[in-house]
Amino acid sequence: MKTETKCPICNGKKEQGKVTFTVDLGTNLIVIRDTPATVCSLCGEQWISDKVAENIEAVVREAKMKNRMIEVVNFSLENVA
């Protein structure tokens, strides 16, 4: 299966990079820095892999248990169970 290198939105080039991913739960805000993603070099559209999404879900679950209004973390694959 070939990976598409052109952005389906603007035809820019998709490149590997890091982004800041935020989750707003209404009463809590979770900020995950240095999240690996594919990013369009032209329009900035972002895509994350399934593995990264699993990690984000784990971080969100943990942050909800801490019950902090704002949680800021750096991305790490070690959080995936």
pLDDT by residue, tens only, the chain of 81 residues: 456 799 999 999 999 999 999 999 988 899 999 999 999 999 999 999 999 999 999 989 988 888 888 999 888 766 444
Task: Specify the 3-state DSSP secondary structure of 61.
Answer: helix
Structural contact between residues 32 and 76, judged by C-beta atoms closer than 8 angstroms: no
| pTM beyond 0.85, yes or no | no
pLDDT of residue 64: 86
Q: Which helix (H) or strand (E) holds 57?
A: helix 50-66
- Which domains, from first to last, does the chain contain? 14-75 (3.10.20)
